Amino acid sequence: MRKLVLPDGRMWLPLGLGLLLVLLVAAGFHLTRATTLTLAVAPNGGTEPALLRAYADELARRKLGVRLKVVAFGGVRESAEALKTGKADLAVVRPDVAMPGNGLTLAVLRELAAFVAVPGASGIKSVPDLGGKRLGMLASRTADRTLLRDLLTHHGLQLVSDAPADGAGGKAVALVPVDEADVAAALRDGRIDAMALVTTPASPAARRLVGLVADAGEAGEVALIGFADPAALLARWPRLQSVTVPAALYGGSPRIPDEDVATVGSSCRLMARADLSRSLAAEITQHLFEMRTALAETVPAAEDVTHPAYEDTADATSARLPIHPGAIDYYEREQETFIERYESWIYLVAILGGGLGSTAAWLRQRLGRIRRERIEVATARLLELRSEARRETDRERLETMAGEVDDLAASIARHALNRPTEPRTLGAATVAIEAARSTVKRALGRAAEPA
């Protein structure tokens, strides 16, 4: 005789909920994990590498959502190449030396001005007066030579590396590398006639050099000469920028300089790949400016960090040195919110969660229906056994029926304990159990009577 056993399908609901939990955990990990970007810095021993290493350390210390992996290069040409070839996501770039085609500005790390400092009694009043003179430049500033050569060429002068014994004649300007400690002595001894500077005008290094030139002059006088006609120079070399050295920047009496000095210069910029997401670019820019004061405690050059000048968004994105849209979002306070940034993921999780929730509800309903159907089938079998027992006279056969009734009753009870069951269904099953048992019991009594 067949025996009916009710199956248990309870494993499907926990499985669905477990899958939903795994998806939610995976989405949460993706949304909250830190993003690591590679940053190319240069030159070795320069101001910018020290600043950006301190910035990377501060990002890690504060456990923010972005990290920087700093990679050092010997010069800004090499760091720009790393950005261009995709080896770096961010880089220190000096546009007049090398400008990667895929680079967009996040921030200006330093603005550089090109000017000449001459002792007061030198007789040099303007750039053309440098013809036939010896021009000193710090020995380590190899990146500045091309800029200085171009600016002198615009004024009809030729920069040469080797100075003749009797001075550089005609339109030639002899470039003489000197160390900072030898500047004053070289001016007094006539090894150089003036000092060329390509630097941030307000930096401590610029103040020291101007002071050394003043020490070599009579009565401590020094004059600063800028490269005139900035508009014409920018039209010729669009990667440069107009710079003004403010009057009295270096103090003194008389003040140094005695009036504003208009000139041109370059800049050291933090640039990002053009395809770097706007949200990441905005985050990098925001943290840099927010940490500027804290960074300045250990790296004073952090005070020089500024935003690139622009009038409106169209001007910023179409400039000769365009700004990254993410940086513009920060400057104009139009950054993406968390919802906007992860909108697609949030919708995906919501859709998956809703789908899994609906699936779980359907499974519960389906399993409940299966349990109910199984109990109904068991109830129908109990009624069949009751009918069969009324006609049966064989004792062995009746005892088998009694055992099946007990098994069905136990299976129904087990399901009723483990899962909610409709009272109507359970009540009908209970009546069927009692009816089948009493019928089988009476039939067994009749079978035991003597013929």
Domain at 143, CATH number? 3.40.190.10
Q: What is the pLDDT, as a whole number, of residue 432? A: 79
Instruction: Please tell me whether residues 157 and 181 are part of one structural domain.
Output: yes
Average pLDDT, the chain: 83
Tell me the average pLDDT across 418-433.
Answer: 76
Order of strands across the sheet that contains 172-178: 158-160, 172-178, 134-138, 194-199, 113-119, 222-226
Taking the mean position of all CA atoms in its chain, how far away is CA 109?
18
3-class secondary structure, 193: coil
Domain boundary among 232, 265, 298: 265
DSSP conformation class of 73 = -
Instruction: Please tell me whether residues 442 and 422 are part of one structural domain.
Output: yes
Instruction: Please tell me whether residues 325 and 432 are part of one structural domain.
Output: no
More confident residue, 219 or 6: 219
Query: Is pLDDT above 80 for 103?
Result: yes
Q: What is the pLDDT, as a whole number, of residue 165? A: 45
Rounded percentage of the chain residues whose pLDDT exceeds 90: 51
Q: What is the pLDDT, as a whole number, of residue 112? A: 94
Low-confidence winner among 86-90, 109-113, 373-377 (lowest mean pLDDT): 373-377
The C-alpha atoms of residue 210 and residue 199 are separated, in whole angstroms, by 11
More confident residue, 306 or 252: 306
Backbone region of residue 268 per phi and psi (left: phi > 0; alpha: psi in -120 to 50; beta: other values): beta
Q: What is the pLDDT, as a whole number, of residue 362? A: 58
Nearest to 237 by CA among 315, 151, 159, 307: 151
- Amino acid at site 409: A
Q: Is residue 302 part of a domain?
A: yes
Instruction: Please tell me whether residues 329 and 355 are part of one structural domain.
Output: no
Q: Is residue 16 part of a domain?
A: no
User: Contact, 291 vs 297, CB < 8 A?
Assistant: no
Q: What is the pLDDT, as a whole number, of residue 314? A: 62
Q: What is the pLDDT, as a whole number, of residue 174? A: 93
- Beta strand pairing call for 172-178 and 134-138: parallel
Peptide bond into 43 cis (omega under 30): yes
More confident residue, 95 or 169: 95
Peptide bond into 128 cis (omega under 30): no
Q: Name the token pair of 40.
A: 């190319």
Q: What is the pLDDT, as a whole number, of residue 163? A: 56
Domain membership of residue 353 as a residue range: 344-448
The C-alpha atoms of residue 26 and residue 24 are separated, in whole angstroms, by 5
Cα–Cα separations (whole angstroms), residue 278 to 154, 335, 377? 40, 8, 63
Query: Is pLDDT above 80 for 56?
Result: yes
The C-alpha atoms of residue 388 and residue 397 are separated, in whole angstroms, by 10
- Amino acid at site 196: A
Tell me the average pLDDT across 284-298.
Answer: 95
Instruction: Please tell me whether residues 180 and 292 are part of one structural domain.
Output: no
Q: Is residue 149 part of a domain?
A: yes
User: How many CB atoms lie under 10 A from the CB of residue 114?
Assistant: 23
Instruction: Please tell me whether residues 105 and 119 are part of one structural domain.
Output: no
Tell me the average pLDDT across 265-292.
Answer: 95
Low-confidence winner among 268-277, 320-329, 412-421 (lowest mean pLDDT): 412-421
Q: Is residue 14 part of a domain?
A: no
Q: Is residue 401 part of a domain?
A: yes
Instruction: Please tell me whether residues 404 and 366 are part of one structural domain.
Output: yes
Q: What is the pLDDT, as a whole number, of residue 359? A: 65
The C-alpha atoms of residue 88 and residue 272 are separated, in whole angstroms, by 9
Digit-coded pLDDT (tens) for 197-250: 999 999 999 999 999 999 887 777 899 999 988 899 999 999 999 999 999 999
The C-alpha atoms of residue 69 and residue 87 are separated, in whole angstroms, by 12
- Amino acid at site 185: A
Low-confidence winner among 133-137, 314-318, 404-408 (lowest mean pLDDT): 314-318
Instruction: Please tell me whether residues 260 and 117 are part of one structural domain.
Output: yes
Q: 118-139 b/e with 16+ CB inside 10 Å = b?
A: bbbebebeebebbbbbbbbbbe
Cα–Cα separations (whole angstroms), residue 130 to 126, 144, 159, 211, 328? 7, 17, 10, 21, 42
Instruction: Please tell me whether residues 139 and 224 are part of one structural domain.
Output: yes
Q: How confident is the model at residue 5 (pLDDT cuts 50, 70, 90)?
A: very low
Q: What is the pLDDT, as a whole number, of residue 96? A: 92
The C-alpha atoms of residue 429 and residue 376 are separated, in whole angstroms, by 7
Instruction: Please tell me whether residues 57 and 86 are part of one structural domain.
Output: yes
- In 156-240, where do the E strands start and end? 158-160, 172-178, 194-199, 222-226
DSSP conformation class of 128 = G
Query: Is pLDDT above 80 for 342?
Result: no
Instruction: Please tell me whether residues 138 and 251 are part of one structural domain.
Output: yes
The C-alpha atoms of residue 319 and residue 288 are separated, in whole angstroms, by 23
Domain boundary among 295, 310, 337: 337
> Whole-angstrom distance between the N-terminal and C-terminal Cα of the chain?
28
Q: Is residue 6 part of a domain?
A: no
User: In this structure, what are the phi and psi dihedrals at residue 360, rounded to the nearest 5 degrees?
Assistant: -65, -40
Query: Is pLDDT above 50 for 276?
Result: yes
Q: Which residue has the tokens 């030159």?
A: 43
Tell me the average pLDDT across 349-361.
Answer: 63
Nearest to 42 by CA among 5, 12, 79: 79
Q: What is the pLDDT, as a whole number, of residue 1? A: 45
Q: Which residue has the tokens 């004024």?
A: 155
Tell me the average pLDDT across 44-51.
Answer: 90
Q: Is the dihedral of CA 378, 382, 383, 385 positive or negative?
A: positive
Q: Which residues pair with 194 in a beta bridge?
A: 135
Q: Is residue 3 part of a domain?
A: no
3-class secondary structure, 199: strand
Instruction: Please tell me whether residues 433 and 366 are part of one structural domain.
Output: yes
Q: What is the pLDDT, as a whole number, of residue 6? A: 44
Query: Is pLDDT above 90 for 302?
Result: yes
Domain boundary among 207, 241, 265: 265
The domain total for the chain is: 3
Q: Is residue 9 part of a domain?
A: no
Low-confidence winner among 81-90, 91-100, 113-122 (lowest mean pLDDT): 113-122
User: How many CB atoms lie under 10 A from the CB of residue 52?
Assistant: 24
Which range among 28-32, 299-303, 312-316 has the greatest average pLDDT? 299-303
